[in-house]
Amino acid sequence: MGYVVEHQVRFHETDGAGVVYFANELVICHSAYEASLAAAGIELGVFFKAEAIAYPIAHASIDYRRPLRCGDRVTIHLTPTRLDDSSFEIQYHLKLRDTLVAEAVTRHVCISVADRRRCPLPTEMERWLTRWGDSPSGEEQ
């Protein structure tokens, strides 16, 4: 199923060669992650304040296929997948028109802020995973 959002590349996201600076494509992916949380009804101010639970990124990678330039309207297709009771992975496919320009992955671990140890994903994140993740049976959710 997944979540889809558009992003228009801004001048400040580009480098001296006029293409998106490599690290900024991960920033674009993270913006899509934030938008998917908000679309699922998660209050971002509370989520990112991380008073009790946090979701640090344990791994990130991105493969670039084609350059993006200022003014390009890229579509980000985001699909989260549960890895275990305390972690999940998000796959991102960035497309310009119908052409794949980049693929990225981020892996997140749910931890208790107090002791920095893994803890089970809370109900709101379970709902987010169900809403935007792939259905195990292949059926619409």
Residues identified as active-site: 15
CA 59, 63, 68, 74 torsion-angle sign: negative
d(CA 41, CA 64): 31
* Token pair 């709902």 in the structure block, residue: 127
* Token pair 């600076």 in the structure block, residue: 21
| Cα 101 versus chain centre, distance | 16
